[in-house]
Amino acid sequence: MYVIIVGAGDIGSPLVELASRESHDVVVVERDEAVASDISRNHDCLVLNRDATTMEALEEAGGDRADAIISTTESDATNIMVMLLARELEIPSQVSVVHDPEHMSLFRRLGVNALENPEQLIAEYLYRAVQRPSIKDFMHLSGDAEIFEITVGEDSAITGRSLAAADENDVLPDDVRVVAIERDQSVLLPQGDTEIRSGDLVTVFSKRGFGSEIIETFVGEATPSSAVS
């Protein structure tokens, strides 16, 4: 895949690392000369020390043959201009970070796959990690719905039960579903007769997020969230 990454700061730099590691054809457009030089020294990719808000810069970056473009700068104005130029070049996949939530609708009207306020997402993730240390990972969906990973405790209400039995005995609420189980370095797609075991890392979908009562279903005891909340 041919990828253009605009901006090589806190978000763009690890993105360059990921894309390069996967052996994609990566072109970085970075206006800061020192940052551009650092990326060029440390990564196997083409780096242009240019302002990406000009058509000439994106054409030099190979925009006419790119499969994707990702804009990661700290300025929404810059990111939207890059996306407008990418649209003119008909780059198939257009992705951008968006720092001000009020700008999201503009990016979406352009058909851009936008990530809202990454700094806020990181802050929330860290805060929730302190609140709910038993949660290994989580992702917000629409409304209050969330998907999260949690390790099943030995004394939890669901340990030793099949998912069908858990449903029948109201151990799992109707709006909570186990969608995957990681066990012994393998991933299982759970069925009704799948038994939940202590130590399983389960991926859970909950329409109302992961409240204390849902967490206790899997870990068996209250988590120390009250110290933070």
What tens digit of pLDDT does each residue of 119-157 get?
666 777 676 666 666 777 777 777 778 888 999 999 899
Task: Please tell me if the domain spanning 2-116 has the same topology as the one spanning 122-227.
Answer: no
Handedness of CA 107, 109, 115, 118 (dihedral sign): positive
Compute the distance between CA of residue 38 and CA of residue 50 in angstroms, rounded to an integer.
15
- The dotted CATH code for 2-116 is 3.40.50.720
What pLDDT does 185 receive? 87
Residue matched to tokens 């020294």: 41
What band does 45 get if pLDDT is binned at 50, 70 and 90? very high
Q: Indicate the average pLDDT of the chain.
A: 88
pLDDT, tens only, 160-201: 999 999 999 889 888 899 999 999 989 999 999 999 999 999
| Average pLDDT for 78-98 | 96
Distance CA 137, CA 148 (A): 5
Identify the CA nearest to 175 among candidates 150, 200, 146, 202. 146
Residue-range domain boundaries for the chain: 2-116, 122-227
CATH number corresponding to 122-227? 3.30.70.1450
Closest CA to 16 of 34, 36, 33: 36
Question: Where do the H-state alpha helices sit in the chain?
Answer: 12-21, 33-42, 55-60, 76-88, 104-109, 118-131, 163-168, 212-219
